[in-house]
Amino acid sequence: MSSPVIPAIISQHAEDVAFHWLLRDGAVYAPHYSLKELAKLDGRVEAHLDGLRIAGDAGWEICAGALTQEEPGEVFTAAILAFESGDGSRIQTVVEVGLAKTELSRGLVSALGWLSFENAEGRIRKLLASEWPVIRRIGIAASAVHRRDPGTPLAEALSDDNPYLKARALRAAGELGRTDLIPLVSRERESGNAACRYGAAWSLAILGDADAAEALWSFVKPDDDFAEEAVRIAMRRADPPKALLWQRAIAEDTQTRRLAAVGAGVIGDPVLLPWLFEQMKAPPLARAAGEAFTMITGVDIAYEDLEGERPEGFDAGPTENPEDENVEMDPDEDLPGADPELVQGWWGRNRGQFRNGTRYLMGQPISSEHLNQVLRTGGQRQRAAAALELAISKPGIPLFEVRAPGFRQKTLLGIR
Q: How many CB atoms lie within 10 A of CB 132?
A: 12
Q: Do 3 and 114 share a domain, yes or no?
A: yes
CA torsion angle 348 350 353 357 (round to 10): -40
Where a domain ends, among 98, 120, 147? 147
Helix (H) / strand (E) element for 116: namely none
Cross-strand pairs, 34: 379
Report whether pLDDT(184) > 70. Answer: yes
Write b or e for each residue in 280-293: b if 16 or more Cβ atoms lie within 10 A of its Cβ, otherwise e: bebeebbbbbbbbb
Domain span including residue 21: 1-147
Residue 183 confidence class, pLDDT cut points 50, 70, 90: very high
Q: Tally the C-alpha atoms within 13 A of residue 52's C-alpha that lie toward its C-beta.
A: 30
Whether 107 and 7 map to the same domain: the answer is: yes
Last residue of a domain, one of 90, 121, 147: 147
pLDDT at 254 over 50: yes
pLDDT digits (tens, 9 = 90+) for 131-169: 999 999 999 999 999 999 999 999 999 999 999 999 999
Query: How many domains does the structure of the chain reveal?
Result: 2
Mean of pLDDT values over 242-263: 97
User: pLDDT tens-digit profile of 304-346?
Assistant: 999 887 655 455 544 445 565 544 557 788 888 889 999 999 9
pLDDT for 328: 58
**For position 260, what pLDDT does the model report?**
98
Asked if 124 and 252 sit in the same domain, the reply is no
**Which pTM value belongs to this model?**
0.92
Predicted pLDDT of residue 2 = 44
267 located within any domain: yes
Query: How many other CB atoms are found less than 10 A from the CB of residue 398?
Result: 19
Cβ–Cβ under 8 Å, residues 19 and 11: no
143 in a structural domain: yes
| CB atoms closer than 10 angstroms to residue 218 | 14
Residue 386 placed within a domain? yes
Q: Is residue 270 part of a domain?
A: yes
Among the candidates 113, 129, 147, a domain finishes at 147
Residue 355 pLDDT greater than 70, yes or no: yes
> Do 132 and 20 fall within a single domain?
yes
